Amino acid sequence: MATGNGLSIGVYVFDGAEELNVAGPFEVFTAWRERSALKPRVATFSWDGRGVRLAQGLHMVPDRSADDVGPLQLLVYPGGPGVQQLVGDRIHLEWLHAMRVQTPLLASVCTGSLVLAAAGLLAGRPATTHWDHYDELAGIDPSIMVDTETRYVDDGDVVTSAGVSAGIDMALHLVE
């Protein structure tokens, strides 16, 4: 999945991911690809490479599986109702933790931050999520400094965003 310059962006998709949490950042990054000399590779991937059914019923066929996505410079983790199952999936959380070790920049949209928190990736950091899930984020890991005021929180190598449209703002910030 690497490009000539090695810049690869992967958007993880799963059953129950919110459509705009996936499509908003994906659109920003692919529009950037068309205008940037960097020409980053932007791809979607699911756990097994099979199609997923997103939160509102849209069926999506990802480009790759988690095993085939290759090294990423940016992993985008969306939110949606499907995160509730992933927050408690030990194997998935171990995979996410391993991906974090090899991925320089991690970003979440909406409730995707809940899964990052469950994997221990937000411990002691400032972070945000959808406004209806602030308490849940704090409950997963009380050391997280939950920011209830901003649309996205950039903590260097981890960036979290609030609700759906905030994911677009976060992606624009990352492109900038």
Spatial distance between the Cα atoms of 144 and 41, rounded to a whole number of angstroms: 32
Spatial distance between the Cα atoms of 130 and 152, rounded to a whole number of angstroms: 10
Q: Is position 137 annotated as part of the catalytic site?
A: no
Angle value at C-alpha 35, between 29 and 36, nearest 5 degrees: 80
Catalytic hit among 110, 127, 137, 144: 110
What is each CA distance from 138 to 11, 123, 156, 165, 170, in whole angstroms? 25, 10, 20, 22, 21
Q: Which positions ≥6 away from 137 have C-beta within 8 Å?
A: 113, 114, 117, 122, 127, 129, 144, 146
What is each CA distance from 4 to 21, 75, 138, in whole angstroms? 28, 19, 41
> What would the two tokens of residue 144 be?
């997280």
Show which residues are catalytic: 110
